[in-house]
Structure 1
């Protein structure tokens, strides 16, 4: 390898001259051949084989498959109730207005749950939080299958919200634990696919089952699947919270020393430890990274420990998400994209449940479930576009930037999804307002799903790449704002649609959506400058929590 010159840094130096998220992703050894270009590893992994970044592909796949499975299950539990409304108004003697309020109670649980549980995941590990939330969802699923009153409906919705809330933040923490930057877009694409499977695909099966055997049977099936998944988590999910072992360094020659910078903590070193000064080595490439096999692997019992405790104080984790949301524009940008995307999704799902049982459609719960096919297919394509194609695109853009990666590069390909999201909402509303054949609102839903999947994937990955060491705080704030905005949506749907009609309502949604997604432009233009200005605050927060969570 050619020597790296001092005026061509190939690393995020310990004094923090590069803003958080900026680093050398593509190293070009001779400047000419594509064969000489190597993908650099970021975050910089240690040589410890127990660090999750260093796990084998099989171990990572096993862990993340369980995470994806619980994601699909949680979003199924949060989505299927609207399909049953047609039957529940008869069986429970409730009104559609009361069912809308029950959905708002669900969002209250979602908003509260992430604030309550994510600090515990940071303090005690990811595994106990996954287990507790899965167990709580298991209990509420079987309880929901035996509902007899409106008060029980409110109670189960609140508990399901609390159980499901952790998933919206802890999955992003898990992705940051396990994967390097050039893999995260694809992993978020898989996550968004599971979100849409739970939001659209499994509700189709639930609607078919409810039509034939009653809505209670669908909740029993959900409970059985939950029980199986809980056992799999108990037996196979390994803790991804990594606590490095710090060893002292010595040198036979007198050398000057400096305190380790915050960026060095990404290499799993604690602050305020002195070490010899030297020009840092460049980040290793995929082929160069080697493990220290003299370090013993953890036993199976250690890997499946119920608690992974660290000594930092837990209280800052309860209020820092709100500070993060208010002081880091990239986090607020992600929260707005995600929050309004889910708000449009809630509106669309509720309108399908309200409109399609009526003339001219007269759909059964099974047929209402099938209306989810369009949004699901669109989202599947969108997640692939924003995730896997996004991972490929950042390599291309980094090469054009002398090998350096900027997180805002994730947003360069989002112009088509932004138009598709707004256009899909408008097409959906216009089609149902005219009573057009169900294929037309389905196409509108597919366009909407494509835009939602692409933009959500890129926005989530942008935050992880920009501020990896405070991922938990950032996504707790994102999840809180997303659910806080959604609390009021169910109350507004029915009066809004009665006042303006579905066409004008969805036209308004489309243009609001376009205004929100156009904030991509200032983030692209000013994102790096913003990261430079927020770098001191970010580093102070990392020091406060003692390095990597």
Structure 2
């Protein structure tokens, strides 16, 4: 049996100095476990009970649930106004498509915010940055419903940018919490659960807002998110913990104070109580690292896939209210009101539930089955990507094609609903799998890798609203979504390239930023364990 120890900021192929593994009990001489049944624990935990890997599942779940709420708020708040576009169009004197530009403003905020919050988290701690950026999002959510004059269209768009700019924090910093707390064979489920908040927030935000403002003037749709953001601030203060831990021999880690109040003050208020003291010069070097990672071929390939698959999902969500609410007399198909549109968005919820169940049962099981099949019990990061065959090679292109058919041939709204269901499943499953894969490729730079991938995958969603009408004029609405379906299949070719040549592609990463867990022995024996 091969056992390894992973430090918090480095990956080592050596066992802890001075520890001896008892092969019968799978426990080191210092009391640390080495395996869970037939699965070897990667990374190997220390014997310290404060090591996040040794925390109870209840304690880990509490942190994940807190991050889930903060991420839900972060991704639901910027898109609250997605359904009430007709009232806003009348107020600002814009077309419905121009009103959807606020989705692009929000996407821009999501794409750029992390480049500030990540370096600041290295100086003040991840939890502190999450806590204080929630206050920024609270201010942005109060700002938006105050923009009720006809000349305040531009300030309204700016409020959506800053809501997302502050709201993206957990999306960037959250993956590191998961890597700190969970073993390699558990991360697929953990990433699926946390990233459910991303898609669920982007879908549920418009749903809640649509029902709240269905029979009222549009600003009221923002106030529920103001209250929920306030709740998130309280929950984060009460329950979020810093998970940084150095397992290097001789490392001195922070001792949590006995006083709960003192621990909260140390965690959230400015200072260096939860992270090692550092200079602003070092913080600047940290800020530059994502740009080094951005040129890595493996990042560019995964980003190419995510840009198309997630970008089309964002575009579909942004434009569906326009298609559903366009009056029949103006050439629309269904001519729904805001309440009907809000009810329609529940199809996203169903897709999210199905995607969550799929990710929970298969995102770890499929890679472990492939590990068992290679007869050596050795891990390869690319095994993660095989979970996307049914969802992103089949369901997502089929869903986009059905959207085109429904629009082109003016079919029943159920066809549109089925299409949205398929696309939602593909989007929900693809995000945690690809983020998890990239984090495992850049084990020592997980936050920077997640930040770069998050920014790149939003580019298409950011821009598509500006050229969708010329695209429709050129080929027709049916073929717009039909082309999206073919592009989705093409994007999956990027993943196939990584499945075949991932090891070689990762080897050419510049600046020495790539260090994966490839080659780790995850299973005790070479036989097929039934995963």
Instruction: Return the offset for 1:415.
Output: 1.9
Instruction: Return the offset for 1:105.
Output: 2.4
1:204-229, Cα deviation, whole Å (9 max, x unpaired) = 22211111233222201110111111
TM-score by length of 2: 0.82
Equivalent residues of 1:140, 1:159 under 8 A apart: yes
Q: Which runs of 5+ in 1 are unaligned?
A: 19-26, 30-34, 248-267, 271-294, 542-549
| Among 356, 359, 362, the residue aligned to 2:324 | 356
Query: Per the alignment, in what secondary structure is the counterpart of residue 38 of structure 2?
Result: strand
**Which residue does 1:81 correspond to in 2?**
81
| Among 426, 429, 433, the residue aligned to 1:451 | 426
- Distance between the aligned counterparts of 2:39 and 2:468, measured in 1? 48
- Distance between the aligned counterparts of 2:117 and 2:126, measured in 1? 10
- Distance between the aligned counterparts of 1:71 and 1:495, measured in 2? 34
CA RMSD of aligned residues (A): 3.0
Equivalent residues of 1:109, 1:161 under 8 A apart: yes
**Which residue does 1:537 correspond to in 2?**
512
- CA change 1:536–1:97 in 2 (3 A) is closer
Equivalent residues of 2:84, 2:338 under 8 A apart: yes
Structure number with the bigger relative contact order (C-alpha 8 A, sep ≥ 6) is: 1
Q: Are positions 1:385 and 2:358 aligned together?
A: yes
Equivalent residues of 2:309, 2:427 under 8 A apart: yes
**Which residue does 2:275 correspond to in 1?**
309
Aligned 1:84-123 pairs, distance under 5 A:
84-123=84-123
- CA change 1:10–1:55 in 2 (3 A) is closer
- Distance between the aligned counterparts of 1:174 and 1:17, measured in 2? 20
**Which residue does 1:338 correspond to in 2?**
306
Q: Which runs of 5+ in 2 are unaligned?
A: 14-21, 25-34, 517-531
Equivalent residues of 1:424, 1:443 under 8 A apart: yes
| Among 482, 493, 515, the residue aligned to 2:468 | 493
**Which residue does 1:224 correspond to in 2?**
227
Instruction: Return the offset for 1:476.
Output: 1.4
1:159-204, Cα deviation, whole Å (9 max, x unpaired) = 1121122232112122112211111111111123222221223422
- CA change 1:28–1:426 in 2 (3 A) is farther
Instruction: Return the offset for 1:453.
Output: 2.0
- CA change 1:383–1:475 in 2 (3 A) is same
**Which residue does 2:28 correspond to in 1?**
none
Equivalent residues of 1:375, 1:447 under 8 A apart: no
**Which residue does 1:473 correspond to in 2?**
448
Aligned 1:35-434 pairs, distance under 5 A:
38-148=38-148, 149-242=152-245, 247=250, 298-299=257-258, 300-301=260-261, 303-304=263-264, 305=266, 306=268, 307=271, 308-312=274-278, 313-327=282-296, 329-358=297-326, 359=328, 360-401=333-374, 402-417=376-391, 418-434=393-409
- Distance between the aligned counterparts of 1:499 and 1:534, measured in 2? 40
- Distance between the aligned counterparts of 2:303 and 2:205, measured in 1? 26
- Distance between the aligned counterparts of 1:373 and 1:127, measured in 2? 32
- Distance between the aligned counterparts of 1:48 and 1:184, measured in 2? 21
- CA change 1:237–1:36 in 2 (3 A) is closer
- Distance between the aligned counterparts of 2:248 and 2:102, measured in 1? 48
- CA change 1:12–1:239 in 2 (3 A) is closer
Equivalent residues of 1:209, 1:366 under 8 A apart: no
Instruction: Return the offset for 1:77.
Output: 1.4
Equivalent residues of 1:335, 1:482 under 8 A apart: yes
**Which residue does 2:17 correspond to in 1?**
none
Instruction: Return the offset for 1:244.
Output: 5.9
- CA change 1:540–1:361 in 2 (3 A) is closer
- Distance between the aligned counterparts of 2:417 and 2:130, measured in 1? 35
- CA change 1:28–1:332 in 2 (3 A) is farther
Query: Per the alignment, in what secondary structure is the counterpart of residue 444 of structure 2?
Result: helix
- CA change 1:221–1:60 in 2 (3 A) is same
- CA change 1:230–1:532 in 2 (3 A) is same
For these two proteins, the number of residue pairs brought into alignment is: 478
- Distance between the aligned counterparts of 2:486 and 2:307, measured in 1? 16
- Distance between the aligned counterparts of 1:385 and 1:540, measured in 2? 29
- CA change 1:536–1:78 in 2 (3 A) is closer
Instruction: Return the offset for 1:515.
Output: 0.6
**Which residue does 2:523 correspond to in 1?**
none
Query: Per the alignment, in what secondary structure is the counterpart of residue 436 of structure 1?
Result: coil
- Distance between the aligned counterparts of 2:319 and 2:511, measured in 1? 46
Equivalent residues of 2:121, 2:128 under 8 A apart: yes
Equivalent residues of 2:111, 2:458 under 8 A apart: yes
- Distance between the aligned counterparts of 2:288 and 2:321, measured in 1? 37
- Distance between the aligned counterparts of 1:338 and 1:135, measured in 2? 30
